[in-house]
Chain A
Amino acid sequence: MSQVSVTELLRAAEDGDVAAWNSLVERFTNLLWSVARGHRLGGADAADVVQTTWLRLVENLGRIQDPERLPGWLATTARHECLRTLRRSGRELPTQTDDAFDLPDTGAPLDSGLITEERDAQLWQCFEALQPRCQRLLRILLADPAPSYADVSAALDLPIGSIGPTRGRCLDRLRALARERGLSLAGLHTGNEGATS
């Protein structure tokens, strides 16, 4: 599956190519949404962050220094908008140094939407019970297409070397939550995916 490179799409968009712009939107809107939701923003605020981020890119077309790093630029811009939104609403800002992995999450629960499988629904509830720091990291890693660690590092302002270990700890924490709630993850990973659209 050959994809046009981000650099090519960005250059074409800079030259006024609407189709190239739409391809960028198609590819990275989910990443921006993931950054916003990882910061526990509600639907309206998250949509606003996504929209503002794309407007920032429009303003900066022709000024992006390193086109391959566009996903990182977009995600970083989105994070700044998230922090601005959190400040405006007087909510507590996330801290990078907070290593308290057992702090309960105080944000409003996300809508668990239409999850067909009960076990998936339970897994998602466990995810939402993770501490904010884990949700921020894992949620952006769940973006589709998955961002590179370099982009995640830029987006969350984390040292690149810390992403792998933190990811591992957060997933362990998720497994522990699942165990506490009697949710078996056995076979979940490989489970038959055939019924998906």
Chain B
Amino acid sequence: MSDKSEVVLDTPEDDALLARLRKVAAEADPAPPMTYELARAAFAMRTLDDDLAVLVHDSAEPGQEIVGVRGTDEVRLLSYDAPMVGLELQVVARGSRRSLTGQVIGPAADAVVVETAGGEQVVHPDETGVFFVQDLQAGRVRMRLLVSDGVTVTTPWTAL
């Protein structure tokens, strides 16, 4: 797939050494079969008609103030934004367990589907849009907000 039109200083010796290294890399360090299996399976996670929310703030990113440590618990704040709706999330980490407090901002959400590698659970926000998820296993999580007028807004997968 290399673009032949590019002007570079590659010598035949370099090309040959690189070709040899490519062969060795394929032997010494191939992508494990499991990575292919998981990648194929990812296609089933498609949510065709959902609006995608964007992660606009994450206190775990560098340059952000450390939100707080309560005893052995760490607190992380995330904000997601979509055209119609927002989601504020507070994640309390204790070891490999996570407790979430979320608030849906904007239109009322009938339900929030919390998806993890291990499955999904449905929670129902109260009239202020607040919901709780207790004792989640650390890992990749995404949330699908079922907003009242039939719209579903999905967050990206986020490692919590």
Contact = CB atoms under 8 A, between A and B. Distances in A.
Interface of A: 13, 16, 18, 21-22, 25-26, 29-30, 32-34, 37, 43, 47, 50-52, 54-61, 63, 71, 84, 87-88, 110-116, 120-121, 123-124, 127, 138-139, 141-142, 144-150, 160, 163-165, 167-168, 171, 174-175, 185, 188-191, 193, 196
B31 A189 contact: no
| Chain A contact residues: helix, strand, loop or mixed | helix
Contacts, number: 156
B45 to A, nearest CB: 5
Given A51-B39, A115-B24, A30 B31 contact: yes
A139 B22 CA distance: 9
Contacts of B32: 43, 47
B20 interface: yes
Contacts of A54: 38-39, 42
A25 B34 CA distance: 12
Classify chain B: how many residues form its interface, as a range: 35 or more
Nearest to B32: A47
A50 B31 contact: yes
B10 A164 contact: yes
